[in-house]
Amino acid sequence: MSESNESFFQGPPKTMFLFGLVTGVAIAAILYAFFFAGPNAGGTRTANTNTPTVADTTVPTVPAPTIAREPAQVTNDDWVRGDLKKAKVVLVEYSDFECPFCGRHHPTMQSLMNTYGDDIAWVYRHFPLSFHPQAMPAALASECVGEQLGDDGFWAFGDRLFENQTTLGTALYEQVAGELGANMDQYRGCVSSGKYNTKIASQQAEGSSAGVQGTPATFVNGQLVSGAVPLAQIQAVVEASL
| 81 close to 155: Cβ distance less than 8 angstroms | yes
The residue-averaged pLDDT of 72-79 equals 94
Structure-model confidence comparison of residues 223 and 40, the more confident one: 223
Position 86, amino acid:
K
* pLDDT per residue as tens digits for the range 168-215: 999 999 999 999 999 999 999 999 999 999 999 999 999 999 999 999
* pLDDT per residue as tens digits for the range 123-169: 999 999 999 999 999 999 999 999 999 999 999 999 999 999 999 99
pLDDT for position 169: 98
CB-neighbour burial class of residue 29 (10 A; exposed 0-12, middle 13-18, buried 19+): exposed
Give yes or no for residue 11 having a pLDDT over 80.
no
The residue-averaged pLDDT of 63-72 equals 60
Query: What distance in Å separates the CA atoms of residue 66 and residue 176, rounded to the nearest whole number?
Result: 38
Provide the mean pLDDT of the chain: 82
Q: How confident is the model at residue 1 (pLDDT cuts 50, 70, 90)?
A: very low
Structure-model confidence comparison of residues 29 and 183, the more confident one: 183
3-state secondary structure of 37: helix
pLDDT for position 36: 46
Q: What percent of the chain has pLDDT over 70?
A: 72
Q: How many CA atoms lie within 13 A of 199 on its CB side?
A: 18
Helix or strand holding residue 122 (H, E):
strand 120-126
Position 23, amino acid:
T
Give CA angle at 229 (227, 230), nearest 5°.
165
Query: What distance in Å separates the CA atoms of residue 144 and residue 196, rounded to the nearest whole number?
Result: 8
Q: In sequence order, which residues have a C-beta less than 8 Å from that of residue 209 and are 6 or more positions away?
A: 69
- Helical segments of the chain, H only: 13-32, 100-116, 135-163, 170-180, 184-193, 197-209, 231-241
Query: What distance in Å separates the CA atoms of residue 135 and residue 204, rounded to the nearest whole number?
Result: 12
Query: What distance in Å separates the CA atoms of residue 219 and residue 90, rounded to the nearest whole number?
Result: 8
Q: How many CA atoms lie within 13 A of 209 on its CB side?
A: 9
Give me Rg for the CA atoms of the chain.
39
CA dihedral sign of residues 47, 53, 58, 59? positive
Q: How confident is the model at residue 42 (pLDDT cuts 50, 70, 90)?
A: very low
Q: Which of 98, 206, 77, 203 is nearest to 146 (CA)?
A: 77
CA separation (Å) from 224 to 220, 227, 236? 6, 10, 13
Q: What percent of the chain has pLDDT over 90?
A: 71
